[in-house]
Amino acid sequence: MKPRFRLAAWIGGLGLLVAYPLAANDFWVQHVGGRTLGFGTIALSLVFLAAYTGMLSLAQMTVAGVAGYALAYCTAPIGGVAALLPWPAATLVALGCAVLASLAIGFVAVRTEGIYTLMITLAIAMGFYYLTLQNYVLFNGFDGFTQVPAPVVLGIAFERPRPFYYLCLAVAAACFVWVRTIVATPFGLALQALRDNPRRLRALGYPIGTLRVLAFGVAGLIAGLGGVLNVWLNASISPGSVGIDSTIDLLIAAVLGGLRRPAGAYAGAFVFTVVQSFAIKFVDPERFNTVIGLVFIAVVVFSPDGLIGMWSAIRRAARTATFKSGTVDPQATRDGGQTKKAGGNTHVHSQ
């Protein structure tokens, strides 16, 4: 796709997202649209690590949980005591805690590779879950925190569906653009080189371990933002928010959308949220995992690269069909090719 057409497609897609609340009811705006964007932002942190560093972490929901618990601890009324901090300061504290936690996880995880990275981050996620479940001093145990207030800015209450949706959209768009920008910087290119050939990058003098830890820090900030949005959506957080089920749900959403592209995080989160929201109308709630499992298998079988990969395959097939129909000369699309007609024949001259 030509750059100007790609830009037009992105602008059109953003326009649809902005106009979405005008045509949807409150449930679809807040609990489908808002949750998709918040949950998708956490999934984006997982996709960033997997796509551009080659590391698959199962601790991203844990990092989001750290941010959520820090926010709740600073803003929720505890035992009748008022909030400790106003929401802007509490949000900064929550994001700082998320980044520090992610850096600490990265410091441990980067010493492993492949399946061992997956397992050690899963172990960290399970350890944090049991810590929140059993600790009543910081995490309030099984009950967690409730009545976590969403911010109010200039008289706009972000607990309302449409303001909350636009807040989520702004955060998601900023994170998406940030990821796309980072991967084009020298730091991002170094991460991709690290993913493809770490030995060669080490031979060139790059600090492999430091790059990986910093990548975890970037992913931690993104996951922390998603965790803050999820707490404001639910007005609460509990150990179930960071349990094994939530961890696996995040992985499923990321794989559904496609682990190789940032947009896949939000596509997978949307499908997962819709299935989760409406599956209970057709099946027993306890069989939700069966439904999402069937959807997951169907997508992976037809497109191992997820929904975004499926869309790319459809576009390639449409382009091929256009070529075969004679509408477009496929030779004219080759790099460096110029088509000229002379005497009724077509000649292609390479530059």
Query: Residue 286 — very low, low, confident or very high, per pLDDT cuts 50/70/90?
Result: low
Pairing of strands 156-157, 152-153: antiparallel
Give me 79's structure tokens. 């035992």
Q: What are the pLDDT digits (tens) for 105-154?
A: 999 999 888 889 999 999 999 999 999 999 988 898 888 898 899 998 98
pLDDT digits (tens, 9 = 90+) for 24-70: 888 999 999 999 999 999 999 999 999 999 899 999 999 999 999 99
Give Dmax over CA atoms of the chain in angstroms.
Answer: 89
Question: Which pLDDT value is given to residue 327?
Answer: 54
The pLDDT score that the predictor gives to residue 336 is: 47
Instruction: Please indicate whether residue 292 or residue 214 has the higher confidence score (pLDDT).
Output: 214
Confidence of residue 217 (pLDDT cuts 50, 70, 90): very high
Phi and psi angles of residue 339, each rounded to the nearest 5 degrees, phi first? -100, 130
Sequence-distant (≥ 6) Cβ neighbours of residue 269 within 8 angstroms:
36, 37, 39, 40, 43, 253, 257
Q: Spell out the domains of the chain, with CATH numbers in brackets.
A: 24-270 (1.10.3470)
- The pLDDT score that the predictor gives to residue 332 is 47
pLDDT, greater one: 310 or 57: 57
What tokens appear for 148 in the block?
Answer: 């976590």
Per-residue pLDDT tens for 83-102?
A: 678 899 999 999 999 999 99
pTM, two decimal places: 0.86
**Torsion over CA of 184, 39, 174 and 208, rounded to 10 degrees?**
-30
Nearest to 259 by CA among 205, 217, 300: 300
Q: If DSSP codes are grouped into helix, strand and coil, which group holds residue 350?
A: strand
**pLDDT over 90 percentage in the chain:** 51
pLDDT of residue 145: 92
Q: Determine the Cα–Cα distance for residues 317 and 11; give it in Å rounded to an integer.
A: 24
> What is the average pLDDT across 9-38?
89
Tokens of 50: 């997997």
Pairing of strands 337-342, 156-157: unpaired
Where does residue 30 rank: exposed (0-12), middle (13-18), buried (19+ CB within 10 A)? buried
pLDDT at residue 9, rounded to an integer: 76
Which secondary structure element, helix H or strand E, spans residue 152, and what is its range? strand 152-153
